[in-house]
Amino acid sequence: MPLLLVAIVTAVAGAVIALRLDSSHVVIDGLQKAGQLATASEREVEEAIEQAGRVALVGGIARGLLLMPLLTLLLAVVLKIAAWLTAQKTLFMDLFTVATLAMLPAGLAHFIEIFSALRLEVITPSMLPSLAPTSLAALTEASSPALGRVFHAVDIINIWCALVMGLGFAAASKLKPWKGALFGLFLYALFASAFMVGLPGLTPPGAGGH
């Protein structure tokens, strides 16, 4: 039930945002960089913008209905591997329940996104981070891209998810709660260091997405 709730809220948030998203600037900028803007007709540009909107809508819904369950399953597998490495006897279904509960704070963030998006008639891509500002990057401006990635990783929702995951893991494996909390924060620190700070920094400027 919690996983279904999170999946639905995430899908609704993706749909609401996509229906209000103005991707014209992104599409036109992409055509210009590809050297196709000068030769494209007005109708072709409009079709490209409409196509971008449809992709955003399908992607937003799929993020909830497909990606969230897959991420929950992946997290449960990671917890099972961690339990095996630390010689903790746990049932996979218990760990899957832990992973599901750990997604609830993320569901709350998407719930906030829904209400923020409904208040706006048009949303531009640059406005997306401000719909539910939960990271340190929303409070202060970084002096460098690397520091900006660190500020983005210091996210209250992600940290909350990590604590719930750690406490749930402790309950499932009969660890002390404080050890479980530290374990959850440690796993998040590893994840954030690799995928939110390290790997994005290896992407050359102008090489692609963010």
The model's confidence at residue 68, banded by pLDDT at 50, 70 and 90, is very high
* Tens-digit pLDDT profile for residues 92-117: 999 999 999 999 999 999 999 999 99
Q: Is residue 210 part of a domain?
A: no
Task: Choose the weakest-confidence range: 66-75, 76-85, 193-202.
Answer: 193-202
Q: Is residue 140 part of a domain?
A: yes
Task: Please report where in the chains the tokens 């050890």 appear, as a residue.
Answer: 179
Q: Is residue 207 part of a domain?
A: no
Question: What own/partner pairs with CB < 8 Å and gap ≥ 24 does 113-118 have?
Answer: 113/13, 113/16, 113/17, 114/9, 114/12, 114/13, 114/16, 117/13, 117/16, 117/17, 117/20, 118/16
Q: Is residue 89 part of a domain?
A: yes
The answer to whether the pTM exceeds 0.75 is yes
pLDDT at 146: 80
Q: What is the residue range of 88's domain?
A: 2-201
- Please determine, for residue 39, whether its predicted confidence score (pLDDT) is greater than 70: no
Q: Is residue 184 part of a domain?
A: yes
Burial class (CB in 10 A: 0-12, 13-18, 19+), 104: middle
pLDDT at 152: 84
- Which structure tokens are listed for 166? 């750690």
Q: Is residue 208 part of a domain?
A: no
Contact yes or no for 72/96 (Cβ under 8 A)? yes
Contact yes or no for 179/193 (Cβ under 8 A)? no
pLDDT at 136: 83
Contact yes or no for 93/79 (Cβ under 8 A)? no
pLDDT at 209: 41
Instruction: Report the number of distinct structural domains present in the chain.
Output: 1
Averaged pLDDT for residues 50-70:
89
Task: Choose the weakest-confidence range: 6-10, 115-119, 141-145, 190-194.
Answer: 141-145
CA 91 to chain centroid, in Å, comes to: 27
Contact yes or no for 113/172 (Cβ under 8 A)? no
d(CA 173, CA 182): 14
Q: Is residue 181 part of a domain?
A: yes
Q: Is residue 209 part of a domain?
A: no
- Please determine, for residue 205, whether its predicted confidence score (pLDDT) is greater than 70: no
